[in-house]
Structure 1
C-alpha cells in the first residue's frame, strides 16, 4: 500500500508540472513527515551531496558541453554531407541519411534531445526542402536521434553506472551492437515507408563528391575511435574521455572556422544550465532512493516476486512494461533514478545481467522520448517543425515499434549486447 501511495503522489506532482527534482524531493520529505520521522531529514543534505559527487558523474557536463560545441561548429553539416554521399540514393533517400548521420554523430554526443535540436535541424530542413511530408520528416528526425544515447558515449549509461557501480567501459561496449541494430531497423522501416509514400531519393553521389565529403568528415569521424580506442587500451577512463572529446570538439570548431571565441560564453553557460538541472535531479533522486531502502520497498517487492513464483523472463517482462508506461509520463533520466533502486536488487536475485539491463532500460527510455504526452524528442523537434506533438507521435509509431522489437531481442538474448564487452573486457 505504501509503495502505491508513494509513486501515486510522485506521479500526481509530475502531472501537475512540478519540476522533476522538486517532485522527487517533496515526495520523500512528505513520507518522512507523515510517518513522524522528521528527525531523519537531517540526512537530506548528505544524501543529496553524495548523489552528485561520484567520479563517473564528472563525465556528464563534459559530454553536454561537447555536444553543444559540435552543434555550433559545423561538424553536424559535414557528417550529414558524408552520410548523404553514402546512402542518399537508396529507398527513402534523406530519411536514410538522417539515420546514418545520427548513428555517426552519436559517437561524439550522448544525448538524444541535444542531437534532435542540433543535428536534427539540418536533417529536417533537408527532407522538407526535398518534398518530404513535414510530419514524416519530423518523425524520422525525432526517432533517428534516439540512437544517440545507445551508441557510446552515452549520458544515460553514465547515470546507470553511477547508480549501479557497474563498469562504464563495459556499458559503452555493450551499446554498440544494439545501437547498430536500432539504426538498421529504422532504415528498414524508412525503406518500407518510402515504397508506400513514394518518397524521393537523391542521385548517387559521384566519386569526387564521396571523396570530398569523406575528407570533410574525416576528423569528426575519428572522435568515436579515439574515445573507444583510448578506453580499451587503458590510456584513459570514460570520464577522461569526456574531457578529451570536449577539447577535440573545441579544436575542430576553431580549425573549421565555424566556431568563434565570442560564442563560447553562451555555449558554456547553456551547458552549465543543462548539467546543473540533471545533477539536481540526481541529488533529489539519491535521497528518494534512500527513502525506498529505509522503507524496505525493494525487499517487499522481492518477497512478492519470490512468493508468486516469478522467473527471470517474467521479471524482465515486468520491467519492460513498467518502463514503457513510465516513459509516456516521465523524462528518461528520472525513470532511471526512480526505478533503479528497486530494479537492481530484483535483477541480482533473478540472475539478470546488470550490463544488459542497462542497455535494455536505455532502449526503453528512448521509446519514451517519442511517445506522448511527455516525449522529450517530440517537443524538441516540434519546436522547429511546428507539426504538432500528437501528429508527430503518430508518425513515430512505426519507428517506436521497431525500437521495441530490438529491445525485446536484446532483453531475452543478452549475448547480443554482451558480445563486445566479453570479447574486449572479460570479467576476471
Structure 2
C-alpha cells in the first residue's frame, strides 16, 4: 500500500476510533474523522463546501423513504400487540419436543423480527413475554436469555429489513432480489440457534410441552394470519413489481395502523408519541447515512478502497482466503460497531473486491448482512445483548458462556452462506429475479 494512502487510512480510522472511545456519537465521529483525514489534502473551505454537498446528495434519494416507513410500521407493530399473537403461533409450531419454550422463543423472534425489522424490539417484546413462562417451567434463565439474544438478530436478515434498502442504494442491487435472497440464510440463522437449544434441552432434560387441542390450534392460527398477511402483501408486491420498496413501506404503515386500531391496542392518542419515536430513529439513521456519504467521498478521494483491494489481492489470489479475511474483519468490526455504520463504512471498501473476485452483488449483500448481524449479540456493544439481559434480569457475564457455542455455530453457518452461493441465489433464480 502506498505510504500516503496508508497514512490517510490510519488517520481516518484512528480518528474515528478515538472519537468512539471519547463517547462522541457515531455519525459525528464519522463526519469529523473524514474532515480530519482530508485536511492534509484539501483546503478546509473546499472540504466543508464539497462535503456538505456529498452529505445532502447521500440522502437525496426517493428510495431512502422506505426506511422511515418501515421504521414507523415496526413501531406500530411493536405497540399494537402483534408480538403476543405471533408468540402464540410460535408456541404451537414449537411442537412437543424437549425445550419447546426455547424453540418457540426462536420462532417468535424470526416471525416478529421480520415484521418489525428490529432485533432490539424482538429481543424486548418476545423476551419479555417468554421469560415468565420459561421461569415458571424452571428453565435456566441464563440459557433462555442467550437463546433470545442470539435469535433476535434474525429480524435484521429476514425481510422486510432496512439494512438491504441501504445496501441497495449504495450498490444499485435490487431490493426485491435482496429481500428474496435473504430468506434462506435468515431461516438458517434461526435453525442454528434451535440446534443448540435442542442439544441443551436434552442435556438438561427439559419437559415436553402438552399439545393443543384442534380447536385451540385453529384459533391461534386464525389470530396470527392478519399479522402474517402484511409480510405476504409487502414482500409479494415488491417482488411481483406491483409497487416499489418505498410504496411497500407506506402500505406496511397503513396495514399495521389498521391492524393495531382493529385490535384496539393502539389508540389515536398514542399516534403522536409513536410518530415522534419513529421520526427520532429515522433522523438518526438519515444523519448517519449523510455522514457516511462524506466518509465514502473521503475514502474515494484518498484512494483507500482501491488500495485496500490491491492489498487484499496481494495477500492471496484465492477467493476462499480473501472472503475469509473479509469475514474475520467484519466479525471483529461487529463487536464494537453497530450494523448500520459498519454497513455504510465497509461496503465501499469490500464491495469492489468481492465483485472483482466474481461474487454476485446479491450474494455479497446477504453475506455482509449475516456477518454484521452476529455483532448484535457479541460484547461490548451488542444492542440485543444489552436489551436481552435487561429483559431477562440476568448479568451479561452470565450469558456469555451459553452464547459462545451459539456464536461458533453461527460462524460455521456464515461460512456456508459465504462459500455456497446457492443458499442466497436459489430463490431469486426460482422467481426469475436473476
Q: Please, what TM-score do these two structures have when normalized by structure 2?
A: 0.94
Matches within 5 A, 1:97-116: 97-116=104-123
**Cα distance between partner residues in 1 of 2:42 and 2:263:** 61
The residue that corresponds to 1:51 in the other structure is: 58
**Is the Cα–Cα contact under 8 Å of residues 110 and 149 in structure 1 kept in the other structure?**
yes
What is the CA distance between 1:24 and its match in structure 2?
A: 0.5
Q: Give CA deviations for 1:130-186 in whole Å, capped at 9, x if unaligned.
A: 322222222111111111011110111111111111111100000011112112221
**Cα distance between partner residues in 2 of 1:119 and 1:294:** 45
The residue that corresponds to 2:348 in the other structure is: 341
After superposing on structure 2, the runs of 4+ consecutive aligned residues of structure 1 that deviate more than 6 Å are: none
**Is the Cα–Cα contact under 8 Å of residues 114 and 156 in structure 2 kept in the other structure?**
no
What is the CA distance between 1:91 and its match in structure 2?
A: 1.6
Report the secondary structure of 1:361's partner residue: helix
**Cα distance between partner residues in 2 of 1:63 and 1:112:** 14
Matches within 5 A, 1:284-363: 284-363=291-370
The residue that corresponds to 1:151 in the other structure is: 158
**Is the Cα–Cα contact under 8 Å of residues 48 and 284 in structure 1 kept in the other structure?**
yes
Matches within 5 A, 1:367-382: 367-382=374-389
Report the secondary structure of 1:89's partner residue: coil
What is the CA distance between 1:205 and its match in structure 2?
A: 1.5
Deviates more, 1:385-394 or 1:366-375: 385-394
What is the CA distance between 1:224 and its match in structure 2?
A: 1.3
Report the secondary structure of 2:156's partner residue: coil
The residue that corresponds to 2:139 in the other structure is: 132
Q: Give CA deviations for 1:257-280 in whole Å, capped at 9, x if unaligned.
A: 211111111111111111111111
**Cα distance between partner residues in 2 of 1:67 and 1:118:** 12
The residue that corresponds to 2:31 in the other structure is: 25
1:387 equivalenced with 2:401 (yes/no): no
**Cα distance between partner residues in 2 of 1:67 and 1:88:** 28
CA spacing shift, 1:321–1:123, aligned 2, 3 Å: same
**Cα distance between partner residues in 1 of 2:122 and 2:389:** 14
Q: Give CA deviations for 1:76-96 in whole Å, capped at 9, x if unaligned.
A: 101111111221521211110
The residue that corresponds to 2:183 in the other structure is: 176
Report the secondary structure of 2:271's partner residue: helix
The residue that corresponds to 1:11 in the other structure is: 17
CA spacing shift, 1:263–1:393, aligned 2, 3 Å: farther
1:234 equivalenced with 2:248 (yes/no): no
CA spacing shift, 1:201–1:57, aligned 2, 3 Å: farther
**Cα distance between partner residues in 2 of 1:395 and 1:9:** 35
**Cα distance between partner residues in 1 of 2:68 and 2:405:** 33
Q: Give CA deviations for 1:69-121 in whole Å, capped at 9, x if unaligned.
A: 11111111011111112215212111100111122223322221222223332
Matches within 5 A, 1:55-94: 55-94=62-101
Deviates more, 1:227-236 or 1:94-103: 227-236
Deviates more, 1:228-237 or 1:314-323: 228-237
RMSD: 1.6
**Is the Cα–Cα contact under 8 Å of residues 102 and 147 in structure 1 kept in the other structure?**
yes
**Is the Cα–Cα contact under 8 Å of residues 94 and 201 in structure 1 kept in the other structure?**
no
**Cα distance between partner residues in 1 of 2:242 and 2:252:** 14
- Gaps in structure 2 of 5+ consecutive residues: 1-5
What is the CA distance between 1:36 and its match in structure 2?
A: 5.1
CA spacing shift, 1:384–1:183, aligned 2, 3 Å: closer
Deviates more, 1:358-367 or 1:120-129: 120-129
Report the secondary structure of 1:51's partner residue: helix
**Cα distance between partner residues in 1 of 2:29 and 2:58:** 17
What is the CA distance between 1:125 and its match in structure 2?
A: 3.2
Report the secondary structure of 1:273's partner residue: helix
**Cα distance between partner residues in 1 of 2:191 and 2:66:** 29
**Cα distance between partner residues in 1 of 2:98 and 2:363:** 33
Which residue among 83, 106, 127 is the counterpart of 1:120? 127
Number of paired residues? 427
Deviates more, 1:254-263 or 1:107-116: 107-116
**Is the Cα–Cα contact under 8 Å of residues 124 and 141 in structure 1 kept in the other structure?**
no
Q: Please, what TM-score do these two structures have when normalized by structure 1?
A: 0.96
**Cα distance between partner residues in 1 of 2:132 and 2:253:** 27
Report the secondary structure of 2:379's partner residue: coil
**Cα distance between partner residues in 1 of 2:56 and 2:62:** 13
CA spacing shift, 1:195–1:324, aligned 2, 3 Å: same
Report the secondary structure of 2:53's partner residue: helix
1:198 equivalenced with 2:205 (yes/no): yes
**Is the Cα–Cα contact under 8 Å of residues 71 and 119 in structure 1 kept in the other structure?**
no
The residue that corresponds to 2:3 in the other structure is: none
